[in-house]
A and B are shown apart, each in its own frame.
Chain A
């Protein structure tokens, strides 16, 4: 049998495990029956390890399967992820789902199709229409379900048949499928984990310590049956039959609790200094040099040219899901079942095992089953995993009855992991011809990942709060090969003769930090793209020309910039006069996400008076092969607006004893009245590998807005958010 006739195109999973490399997540989930099932005639049942977060992944995967198998979209059914069946694809994060899960399914489906054609007979050129295999004369030779059965899928992927090439595709990049999940959402059909109401349901609430190290310093009040209230170390729970009564009881208990504060949190007013002075671990993330140039010595600038330096800052950000984190758990006869909106059900299972083994030493991994059920958008690692642990701990006290735990709004904003505060110091040396010859990028931040399933102790909040619980592991940064954390996009997309990237990861974690959409790329691209504009301004040069000069190696970067500019209806038009007391400005920025993902360029137009009002956001994106075009636009547009909210409005506030203002009144996010005009241009490259769209826009949006504000004011604001207070501070410092 000839193997691997299909080239393995364009996938970036690390395959250094000695196994024959396979495309996408097939590499770790090599059997076809892990992905596909023919058990229901006429319906292609598809399992994926990636989960729907509102990003539309199920719709994109449905389209990929329908494309490869020549099935109508309605004949493809995506099954929700569960640890009980289907592939383990790790975490749904990093804009990798179309690459990894989509890549696996494209190839698995190509193989299934090939097997069916082979079974249908011989060497004649058969074709598939609507799932039926047709002879050259149009005779129906059967369909997938009559020609094959699940027994035929009980095999490893071999790669005997290549997926369709661009010219053979009829759906990808063209079809505009309805979102699979949307109908339930617009008709109010129960779909979210919050909506599950199994019989016998109990409700639980947790009363959280104000900081990670605060300790419970008071006794608990007694509650009338059937309400229960208990403390396990610093984990305080209330549980009962009626959600209303549990909620009311939790508020009564909360009012009586006293906490002994842990070490004081740093002073928010001097947070950028704290990041610089706190104990940290420095890593040289990347270095690039060129023979003949002086060694990079940043203390003494090389002769000739001009030195530029600037420091930028991003505060802690909250994921700020609209629906508070929620989970259900059932403990029955030594087995635990959890329903969760976690992004990583397998990792969560590993950490739940660690968290619960002190209570049930006999518990084994296979005794825990985790089902994904949609929640509200999470935008990274929010409280989803933590609340699953809360529910599991409560379920252990209610054998045979499911327990539903819901976080409060304040919990969601204060006790979920936060996007880290992040300081960037940039230095550049520019020669007399305007070439940037030296570039140094240093970051100071906590790690960007506290996700479960990666440390020796559980990364689940309640596990750390239980009696004897180990402190939460310090947040880490994923390796640069996986995109990095704080250092994500710290390596410039520009060609400079020398660059040096240093990452200082904090070794203390006053506020818990973890992955938030785009990770370090948001702060780093904000800093880099601001700095490029600052250098251009100092040189009296057009910032786009400076960018182009250092981008000659990257035609796709130039293409997104050109597309955004050429297709903009306002970028090249003269500016309308602003209203009195206000000024207008334009700015642009771009980045290639993770330096390996999608390219995105952003043009922004703002009006600045008492605050910043965004008038226009134009985006151009290159995600390689487009699968679901409308899905790409939705992700880019949504990512851009969320990033606009982070850039202009958001910061987590705190005092010595914890997060303050954990309500929507204080943690303000974008409102409809602040909506700019926005447009997204998608460059389709059907022959290129597909790249994720969910995190491409965030960094460039911050850079473009910062540059537009600087253009409007004539003053550079280097601290986010671009709020009236930070603008005023920049004016006073200027």
Chain B
């Protein structure tokens, strides 16, 4: 599969005119009688598109602006015009797919040459692609062939509000002609620039083994470069965003070697990071092969890692889980978003420590566990198709709950095994299109079938929860001299998953012990006879189960524990007095 595109960007009217030659090989086992194309820019044509119907008020709080569309002017196979017989609305009202019957079947292994002429009118950016201020983020902009599965069926879907990537790997040779003041960056590597007319420059880019191509252009972008191993990383930022660009570059400099060690090396010589400015937030936080849009304001807040750093690391991790391990994002969005979010949180933990991995301001710390647990409250099962989720549950189910499930697996069953399982999955899925079964198989090899059947599959596919809580926690003397004590602690399993854990018991004489709990039992009563009173008990004291819905019920004091001086109420009163003095007398 190869694309050769000759495009001209007219930034004044936000239009790209292009010709495209496609060389497509039927890699399936059956003759192909039709071709299916994605015309995803038509999602922004009007309110009848699937995308607009799924997100009528826009995505991520950004409402729709000026519309966009793609007009296919000509589409030929050799000398035969395919447009007269084309079907344009595979979903009523939606024109983001195009089906073109072929005049004769293409046999397995045979190659077809196609030529296309098209015009892309870019929308005002509200989601992922378009223009804002003098910036053009040109994504989902050319007619792209859907993926023909090995069994000869086309896997094509309309452009939905969530989940858009699934395509064959291929090579791209793209020339972009733009006014000379435009700074242009794109997927792949620059193969030079030349002037072709007064005031116009042709930028050439080439990319191999990628499944998409996007480019950005603006006269205001300033490059910030850094070499990370063998990779030339360029952050493109508007004036004023220098520190934000540096923060993104720092994250990328940490992330590329980290991700390469675990999931295979970053194979491309270049990576471009766009920092969208104010007004272009709709384009932020999006991944394309060798190019991603990070996010965050110009103001970088020291210690707040969940802004620039989180976004940069997340989009960088997508270079692996989506860029190279090219799963079907529409059918199983968790396979790229969930794994990516888990990897992002792990990188943040390793950079800043687990407790302060999300934010560290003075003595206050917020962990990524906390962020994920807050965000995953409305989670549904994680392995559904992207468009099956209500908008409010998509992030919780696809990003955050899987991250908690995977982190639980790593902490409970061990980092070494877990890392090996994910490495196998990533290496096996590299430059191919793995499924959830590929992931489960990798874990089965490292952890065994029981782990997959009793934990990983029900946690991800069925949304079964896990956790522990303490019930009655008592201690009393057996003798009048109070030298022999009896203690009872009720431990209750919350959720259906059998996750091993321990209970820590702390006694008045300073002694402590840890007791393993049989995860198959839903309720366990620990009975202990000791020489001193039980002070407190805590289940999962090391917080190995971040997917536990409640941590407060994990520990209890007994009546023998000394009462603590509770000053929180007093401090709240003092704070209240201070604040009321400002509105009061």
A and B form one complex: no
On A, residues with C-beta under 8 Å from B are none
